[in-house]
Amino acid sequence: MFLGVLSHDLRGPLNAIILTAQAISQLGDGTPVSEPTAILIRSGHRMKELLDDLLDYNRSALELGMPVAPWPGDLAAICLEEVEVQRAALPGSTIEFSSTGSTGGRWDPSRIKQLVAKADVLIENFRPDVMPRLGLGYELLKQINPRLVMLSISGFGHNGPESRRAAYAPIVHAESGLIARQKKITGAHATDIGVSIADTNAALHGLVGLLSALLMRQRTGEGQHIDIAMIDSMLVTDDHLHYTVDGAEHLKPMPSEVWDTAAGTLLIASDFRHVWKQLTTRAGVVDPTPADATLDEKIELRRATARAFFKNLPDRAAVIKSLDAMNLAWGDVREGAASLDTPTVRHRGTITRVDDGAGGERPVVQSPYRFSAAKSGARGASPKQGEHNADVLGDWLGFDSRTIERLRTSGVLMSADSA
């Protein structure tokens, strides 16, 4: 079972939960593994922003081949005051807790501790002081469940002078130098990039840490706490930054360039110097520069000649044949929707369809994992709203049918039938 106690930005931790659940549920070593369940608790009052954010993500990066729900999840007020929750895209059961004020403002983490006692993994992305202040710090929780593996994802880590700073992916993009680098390359005004790399990196490194800790637990019988800082994950995954670390900025490869060609707009995976060498040695292009030309004049003339070469080839087939002959890797610059309908995407079944819960189907992006001895990907329809309320509350918290029915009729538990 996976227990996620989350703050306002769900992307990194939800990715970590999904990736971890998928990896563990597909272990092939004969270890009995139950279907993972996400119980996600989100503090704050901005439910609309949360739902909008999650729904947008469900349509894109969050859809890793798992059943997903395009509607708000079940809401239940059982033990937490001022808590809002949304379903994660996980196989198996889901249940969510949300406060309606029934506890009269009194914070009581006892229900969460009951869940922790049964959990394998807990993932949270509060600022480092929040969980201990709520009575849910790792040192306390490991006394309840010594086998618990707890992953904490924060912007700047659990120790240090900036540990309590709020952080989102764009903040880490700025602090890690990514935005400034893009400005230098493009010459445009500094702006954030169009993908939450810092969230994805933190989730993937969180997954690696979790799987390592779970593997160690098989040998030692003990869980542990993993502290993932988004800034660390960003810097360690930044291949260009390592030139800076080594004091070798001058050795960094120049960025690849985009060309308008008879085959459309293509990116050629090489800097211009190498492209020009291939054009003159393999494609028969003649250097137009006079012997006394300055460096700037040479660059201008050679670029113009290269542009004319690619543009004046008769058709797409001729462009591709020429690039292949020069051993230059290339790629079409596609709009987002066009990237979903390429020969490779169709062949690998990267986009599949699942039940949308309303009598139809909706497309989702499949898991990227292709195992030789296991299956990966969407397993079927998303759970309906409230579908597993009784199962989870009965099996894990021992609620009897009368208690569950009372919660349902009072509006604490919501389901598709009662919504």
Looking at this protein, which amino acid is placed at residue 19? L
Residues 233 and 270 in one domain: no
357 in Cβ contact with 94 (< 8 Å): no
**Is there a domain that residue 342 lies in?**
no
205 in Cβ contact with 228 (< 8 Å): yes
In the chain, the number of structural domains is 2
Which CATH number do you get for residue 15? 3.40.50.10540
pLDDT of 409:
83
How far is it, in rounded angstroms, from Cα 301 to Cα 272?
13
Residues 216 and 108 in one domain: yes
Residues 290 and 369 in one domain: no
Domain termination residue (choose one: 332, 351, 374): 332
Residues 163 and 103 in one domain: yes
Residues 19 and 118 in one domain: yes
Residues 216 and 285 in one domain: no
Among 44, 59, 34, CA closest to 127: 44
For the chain, report the end-to-end CA distance as a whole number of angstroms. 27
Residues 10 and 137 in one domain: yes
The structure tokens listed for 397 are 């918290």
pLDDT of 1:
54
**Is there a domain that residue 358 lies in?**
no
pLDDT of 324:
97
Domain termination residue (choose one: 280, 313, 332): 332
pLDDT of 74:
28
**Is there a domain that residue 353 lies in?**
no
**Is there a domain that residue 337 lies in?**
no
86 in Cβ contact with 96 (< 8 Å): yes
pLDDT per residue, tens digit, the chain (419 aa), is 555 544 444 455 555 555 555 554 444 444 444 444 444 443 333 333 333 333 333 333 233 333 333 333 322 233 322 233 333 333 344 444 433 434 444 567 887 888 899 889 999 999 898 899 889 999 999 999 999 999 999 999 998 899 989 899 999 999 999 999 889 888 899 999 888 999 999 999 999 999 999 999 999 999 999 999 999 999 999 988 888 888 887 777 778 899 999 999 999 999 999 999 999 999 999 999 999 999 999 999 999 999 999 999 999 999 999 999 999 999 999 988 899 899 999 999 999 998 887 788 888 888 898 999 988 888 777 777 888 888 878 888 888 999 888 878 877 677 776 65
**Is there a domain that residue 154 lies in?**
yes
**Is there a domain that residue 246 lies in?**
no
415 in Cβ contact with 385 (< 8 Å): yes
Instruction: Kindly compute the dihedral angle of the four CA atoms of residues 197, 200, 203, 209, in this order, to the nearest 10 degrees.
Output: -70
How far is it, in rounded angstroms, from Cα 86 to Cα 31?
30
Using alpha carbons, list the distances in angstroms from residue 236 to 182, 202, 239, 243: 18, 10, 8, 12
Backbone Cα Rg of the chain = 26
Tally Cβ neighbours within 10 Å of residue 139.
8
- pTM of the predicted model, to two decimals? 0.72
Q: Which domain holds residue 135?
A: 2-238+363-409
**Is there a domain that residue 220 lies in?**
yes
Q: Residue 5 is inside which H or E element, if any? A: strand 2-6
Residues 123 and 267 in one domain: no
Residues 226 and 84 in one domain: yes
The structure tokens listed for 211 are 């799987």
**Is there a domain that residue 341 lies in?**
no
The structure tokens listed for 379 are 């397993």
